[in-house]
Amino acid sequence: MLQTALLLFFPFLMIYSAFSDLVSMTISNKVSMALMAGFVIVSYWVGMDLVTFGWHWAMFGLVLLVSFALFAIGAIGGGDAKLAASTALWLGWEHTLSYFILASLIGALLTLIMLRLRGSIIPERVERVDWIARLYRADKGIPYGIALGIAAVLVYPDTGWMEHAYQLASLR
């Protein structure tokens, strides 16, 4: 069960948040809350020591502070801020920087695609699909949760969480 949780829980929530942001331009608070609760449960299951546990929460606090400052000036959405912090909680000090670099690169590509899309005429058959039509609107933001989710899924295999999953697999 622990191996399944390590393999699926975090990636599932990252993919879910990416699709949610794509379709609705929102990332539910429930995703961030589930990531925080899941971190506490899974870190207990794998026997994470209290110092490491505390450092993960320190990274969460730092990212939450910075991302809420960015939210306050209108640079990112509130869902993106909470998702970034709860993702950093899982990735810790060791992987958060690579996560943000990768998310920035994917986000830049996503922004270029969105600008190109918004510079074109929306096809009639697509205009009736609300979430797709919204992507064409210049007055809407960029669904940056896509970049955050993809980057997290790409960084996750290099984390200690996957090392635990591999160890559990070798015990069978």
pLDDT in tens, 117-156: 888 888 888 788 888 888 888 788 889 999 999 999 999 9
The single-letter DSSP state of residue 131 is H
Helices (DSSP H) in the chain: which residue ranges? Answer: 2-24, 29-45, 50-72, 78-118, 124-127, 130-136, 145-155, 160-171
pLDDT above 70: percentage of residues in the chain: 97
Decide: residue 67, CB within 10 A, 0-12 exposed, 13-18 middle, 19+ buried: buried
Reported pTM: 0.91
Looking at residue 117, what is its pLDDT? 84
Domain range enclosing 21: 2-171
- Looking at residue 166, its pLDDT comes to 76
Q: Provide the pLDDT for residue 171.
A: 66
Residues 6+ apart with CB under 8 A from 134: 25, 140
- Say how far apart CA 158 and CA 165 lie, in whole Å: 12
Span 101-107, mean pLDDT? Answer: 98
**C-beta separation of 79 from 27 below 8 A:** yes
Contact 43, 5 (CB under 8 A): no
As a whole number of Å, the end-to-end CA separation of the chain is: 13
Q: How do residues 16-56 score in pLDDT, each as one tens digit?
A: 999 999 999 999 999 999 999 999 999 999 999 999 999 99
Radius of gyration over every alpha carbon of the chain, rounded to an integer in angstroms: 17
Size of the chain in residues: 172
- How many domains is the chain built from? 1
